[in-house]
A and B are shown apart, each in its own frame.
Chain A
Amino acid sequence: MIEPVCPELQKFYDIFDSVDQTKVSEFKDFLEANAVNFNLFKEGNFIERSFPFDVIPRIIPKSEFDELEAGIIQRVKALNAFLNDIYNDQKIVKDGVVPREYVDSAKAFLPEFMGVNPPKGVRTHISGIDLVKDAVSGKWVILEDNLRVPSGVSYPLTIRRAFRHTYPEFFESMKISKIKHYGDELKAAMDYVNTGGLNVVLTPGRYNSAYYEHSYLAKITGATLALGDDLIVENDEVYLCAYNGEKLRVGAIYRRLDDDFLDPEAFEPDSLIGVKGITKAYRAGNVAIMNSIGNGVADDKGIYYFVPEMVKYYLNEEPILSNAPTYLPYYEKDREYVLANIDKLVIKDVAEAGGYGVLFGNRLSPEKRAEIIEMILAEPRRWIAQEVIEFYDLPCMMEGEILPRKADLRAYVIYGEKVTVSMGGLTRYAMEEGNYLVNSSQGGGFKDTWVVEL
């Protein structure tokens, strides 16, 4: 079902009708000329791919976004508190709010980092919160929290500038919230936790799917872009090897690689993209790592179930935003429901991400269904089940026609001295009609997101 046209979107259409629509092709030219890519690996081949873009932005009325913003900030604060707790006293476990089993068996939980506290107590420096708008209730629903290395923010930031150049009419006639401060806010967050030294964006390199974003973020924050072998650790301090042979101390690292690859001494020994000994510097409090090591325990799909409870537990507030109705086969009652209703549910493997490991019960063959049931019974902790949310389609211009496509929203949150939500975000849409998987890694496209006040 397509989202009803709000007055703000109507205003967009009214202006769009009056502008030169042939200029829409300029966006594609711009993205290609600037190699604004989200690259893919397919069958072992590296494919440079422009991120497909749709000119019709997702428009969110300011009053609606204000509520969304409050809910997202609340959620991220609770998640940060959860991480601080879980790597220290684990009060939430002791108080029975989150089962120990769920923490201990979370793949990304790193007990060896118990008692290691990051500068200023910030762990979720940059979060990407995925939401959809439920077509039945008309409410926003949280689908996922991304607290490790959420990507995508560079695309709306890049395209917004192109939009302002190509169609200034919209910005002259509509009150569209600005997002260009993102770079300053990210820099301020880096400075806030910096232990004395350079700010660095650590990238796995040019063949990473989001390399465009890594270089973009280095550019807008003025941070130094570095590969793993550009950094060395001596006496538990991290240094950048500058081209002239000098060692420059590093105080904050916005790492764009997963924990597993961050330090071959502490994690995956074969990692060629990490920095040997970096975790020692982190443990010693000599460098801020953004996002913190071990955050994956909080965005585990099983832990997601408990986030509304975390909001109540840590903040003593009622959650402003809801989760999608979720069942944990770990609990007997939920397991019975899941097994009896598997045809109506979405089954997710908690170990997977990026749209992988998502199974729609109604599309499973009898053999596959039996196989999944067996797997759920064997490893209940590994699975969650959710009611299928009929989230809104958005209008997308495809080959000259406006067609409905499923779309979500990734909101970006920066946690520095204060917690801020970027007044826009990345709207991702599926390329095929009826497809619920909008992830970039599944071939989806993107839209800009405009927060508009009439």
Chain B
Amino acid sequence: MINGAAISVNTAQHLYWFGRYVQRVQTMLVEMLECYDHVIDRDFEYGNKFFEKLGIQAEYKNGLDFLNVGVYGAHQGSIESIIKMARENAIETRHLLDERGFATLNKIYNHLSEGRNRAAISPTHLEEIVDNCSLILGIFSSELDRTRAYQLIRFGQQIERFDLILRLYGEIEMVTADIDVVNNIARQLNRHYRPINVTTSDIPKFLVFLNGVVDRVIHNKGCVPGSSQSQSS
């Protein structure tokens, strides 16, 4: 049996959320750096519009303060809190994760926690975190013997990508173009999975639909009756 091939429901959910949170950090930071560029000398309100799209209520005084609020602000969408959740999921699944990937994430977390009360955060520092997120997600793609764990992470990444595209840009076409990517991963993860098609242009409806896709891949309501298999270790 491939190392870690038998993955429990709990572990699968943590892998999936690990993928989602790391992807969320990466995308959010890229978007925040883009906003920062606008806020400092083009459109001060640009940052507020960004926060609004994500349902975040926050105020800032200048470009660096915008970044600081985005990273450390007292709201659910702060980068610090997302990193914390990514790390929690990584701790739960570290037996299936690459050690360098885990350590890189943990270092980001330690660094952000330590820097909380120091001087304002710099764009360069945030760019480093973006690079490290790419590194973390990239490392897992080279892990040949942990295929299912990697696919669960990728699955989370893709769902998060769709979620952010819809929330930030409202473009359902961008999602429909990539729906086969999700279908392919889902089929690899669960042979009972039936591919989906996008038949709605209603974004809130589609977001609910996406959650349904996840439930069809990761069964969190116990085992399927009569599905027992005997496997030698």
| A245/B224 contact (C-beta < 8 A), A190-B233, A197-B233, A206-B92 known | yes
Proximity bits, A269-303, B CB within 8 Å = 1, else 0: 00000000000000000000000000000000000
B223 lies within 8 A of A246 (CB) = yes
List the A side residues contacting B13 at CB < 8 Å: 243
Which residue from chain B places its CB closest to the CB of A218 in the assembled complex?
B95
Instruction: Indicate if B4 sits at the interface (CB-CB under 8 A).
Output: yes
Cα(A49)–Cα(B106), bound, Å: 14
| A224/B190 contact (C-beta < 8 A), A247-B223, A249-B230 known | no
Q: How many A-B residue pairs have CB under 8 A?
A: 123
Which residue from chain B places its CB closest to the CB of A243 in the assembled complex?
B12
Q: For this complex, into which size category does the number of interface residues on chain B fall?
A: 35 or more
Cα(A215)–Cα(B11), bound, Å: 11
A sample of 28 cross-chain residue pairs with beta-carbon separation below 8 angstroms, ordered by A number, consists of A32-B106, A34-B99, A34-B102, A35-B102, A35-B106, A191-B233, A194-B233, A198-B1, A206-B88, A215-B91, A215-B94, A215-B95, A222-B1, A222-B3, A226-B8, A226-B11, A227-B10, A230-B10, A232-B222, A241-B223, A243-B12, A243-B13, A244-B190, A244-B219, A245-B190, A247-B224, A247-B228, A251-B233
List the B side residues contacting A229 at CB < 8 Å: 10
Instruction: Indicate if B229 sits at the interface (CB-CB under 8 A).
Output: yes
Which residue from chain B places its CB closest to the CB of A235 in the assembled complex?
B228
List the B side residues contacting A218 at CB < 8 Å: 4, 95
B233 lies within 8 A of A35 (CB) = no
Contact of B95 among A219, A227, A244 (CB under 8 A): A219
B7 lies within 8 A of A242 (CB) = yes
List the B side residues contacting A234 at CB < 8 Å: 228
Proximity bits, B1-21, A CB within 8 Å = 1, else 0: 101101111111100000000
Instruction: Indicate if A454 sits at the interface (CB-CB under 8 A).
Output: no
| A198/B91 contact (C-beta < 8 A), A34-B102, A246-B224 known | no
Proximity bits, B47-72, A CB within 8 Å = 1, else 0: 00000000000000000000000000
Nearest 4 CB-CB pairings of A with B = A243-B12, A230-B8, A245-B224, A245-B219
Contact of B6 among A32, A35, A198, A232 (CB under 8 A): A198
B12 lies within 8 A of A239 (CB) = no
B9 lies within 8 A of A216 (CB) = no
Known: A230-B11, A247-B223. 17 other contacts (CB 8 A): A33-B107, A191-B233, A198-B1, A218-B4, A225-B8, A226-B11, A227-B8, A229-B10, A232-B222, A232-B223, A241-B8, A241-B223, A243-B7, A243-B152, A243-B189, A245-B224, A247-B228
Which residue from chain A places its CB closest to the CB of B13 in the assembled complex?
A243
A248 lies within 8 A of B229 (CB) = yes
Instruction: Indicate if B124 sits at the interface (CB-CB under 8 A).
Output: no
List the B side residues contacting A225 at CB < 8 Å: 8, 11, 95
Cα(A429)–Cα(B94), bound, Å: 28
Residues of A within 8 Å of B, CB-based: how many? 40
Cα(A240)–Cα(B219), bound, Å: 13
Instruction: Indicate if A199 sits at the interface (CB-CB under 8 A).
Output: yes
B12 lies within 8 A of A246 (CB) = no
List the B side residues contacting A230 at CB < 8 Å: 8-11
Cα(A242)–Cα(B229), bound, Å: 11
Instruction: Indicate if B117 sits at the interface (CB-CB under 8 A).
Output: no
Give the interface of A toward B (CB within 8 A): 32-35, 190-191, 194, 196-199, 206, 211, 215-216, 218-219, 222-227, 229-230, 232, 234, 239-249, 251-252
A198 lies within 8 A of B233 (CB) = yes
B3 lies within 8 A of A239 (CB) = no
Which residue from chain B places its CB closest to the CB of A237 in the assembled complex?
B228
Q: Taking each of A32, A196, A246, which has the highest tally of chain B beta carbons within 10 Å of its own beta carbon?
A: A246
Cα(A239)–Cα(B228), bound, Å: 8
Contact of A196 among B12, B190, B232 (CB under 8 A): B232
Cα(A245)–Cα(B189), bound, Å: 11
List the A side residues contacting B224 at CB < 8 Å: 245-247
Proximity bits, B185-227, A CB within 8 Å = 1, else 0: 0000111100000000000000000000000011100111001
Contact of A34 among B8, B106, B192, B223 (CB under 8 A): B106
B192 lies within 8 A of A244 (CB) = yes
Nearest CB of B to A321, in Å: 34
List the B side residues contacting A35 at CB < 8 Å: 91, 102, 106
Instruction: Indicate if B176 sits at the interface (CB-CB under 8 A).
Output: no
Instruction: Indicate if B110 sits at the interface (CB-CB under 8 A).
Output: yes
| A252/B233 contact (C-beta < 8 A), A33-B106, A215-B94, A241-B222 known | yes
Nearest CB of B to A237, in Å: 8
